[in-house]
């Protein structure tokens, strides 16, 4: 039955998700073509304001595609399980965890796919656009790949690790919304607004707890040659970032389990449909 739920959820959601993905690719193609054919800036030009505004608009629209994907699946979860449609969904011979798993799995996949595509298309756009936004010396452009080293993702193993790590992060974000919706439906009135408040509260709680949990890991950090920023960035920073990625992966796994179990429990024990 779980397999049928996954198939049904995929059939019902692939059109909207594909449309958002197509919008993202179209915007990226137009942006890349524009900056590719835009004339280079002269040495006396500090910043091209028009190009900067266009690039910022593209960045906002790219982020909007990812946000709309998450919102779409969050609203769908609410409408399917906690409105009139819920009376039908909860009469199916399936457990609440199956309903949650099927919806969260498909939602996380589409969110993950859009973020992966965003990274793939944004990198060449940034490389092409930078010389057209402000005057940059050629040697400064050559230093851009060193950012991968600084952020600890220069080697193939870390890049491969980031793929499942991003998927778990997307799943955690989706399940956070599902847990917020499940909490919001406990209120007798204004359930949608209550869900939003619960989301803000849970997000703040997760941020605070994450920050507190990261503090012990920083107690053993020793920085030498503080005046040598290049040594710090190339030698110390990659290790810090890699530890952060691993810690975030483990934390997101724990959050996924907590949000998933919480959503299923509330749906099973305290179901309160409109």
Q: What angle do CA 221, 222, 227 make, to 5 degrees?
A: 130
Terminal alpha carbon distance of the chain: 26
Q: What is the pTM of this model?
A: 0.88
For residue range 201-259, what is the model confidence (pLDDT) as tens digits? 999 988 887 777 666 555 555 555 554 555 556 666 777 778 788 888 999 999 999 99
184: nearest Cα among 97, 272, 90, 258: 272
Asked if 99 and 2 touch (Cβ cutoff 8 Å), the reply is no
Kindly provide the b/e burial profile for residues 30-43, where b requires at least 16 CB atoms within 10 angstroms of the residue's own CB.
ebbebbeebeebee
For residue range 56-100, what is the model confidence (pLDDT) as tens digits? 999 999 999 999 999 999 999 999 998 888 888 888 888 999 999
């Amino acid at each position: 039955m779980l397999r049928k739920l996954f198939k049904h959820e995929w059939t019902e959601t692939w059109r909207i998700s594909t449309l958002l993905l197509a919008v993202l690719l179209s915007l990226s193609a137009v942006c890349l073509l524009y900056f590719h054919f835009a004339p280079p800036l002269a040495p006396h030009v500090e910043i091209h304001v028009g190009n900067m505004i266009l690039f910022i608009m593209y960045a906002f629209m790219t982020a909007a595609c990812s946000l709309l994907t998450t919102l779409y699946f969050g609203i769908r979860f609410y409408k399917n399980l906690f409105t009139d449609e819920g009376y039908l969904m909860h009469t199916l011979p399936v457990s609440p965890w199956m309903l949650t798993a099927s919806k969260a799995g498909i939602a996380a996949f589409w969110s993950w796919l859009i973020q992966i595509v965003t990274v793939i298309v944004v990198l060449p756009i940034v490389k092409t656009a930078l010389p057209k936004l402000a005057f940059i010396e050629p040697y400064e452009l050559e230093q851009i790949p060193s950012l991968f080293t600084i952020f600890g993702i220069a080697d193939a193993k870390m890049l491969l690790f980031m793929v499942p790590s991003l998927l778990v992060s997307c799943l955690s974000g989706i399940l956070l919304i599902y847990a917020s919706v499940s909490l919001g439906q406990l209120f007798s009135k204004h359930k949608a607004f209550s869900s939003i408040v619960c989301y803000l509260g849970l997000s703040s709680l997760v941020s605070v707890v994450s920050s507190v949990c990261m503090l012990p890991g920083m107690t053993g950090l020793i920085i030498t040659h503080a005046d040598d920023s290049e040594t710090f960035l190339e030698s110390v920073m990659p290790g810090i970032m890699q530890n952060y990625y691993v810690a975030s992966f483990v934390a997101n796994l724990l959050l996924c389990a907590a949000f998933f179990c919480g959503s299923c429990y509330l749906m099973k024990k305290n179901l309160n449909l409109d």
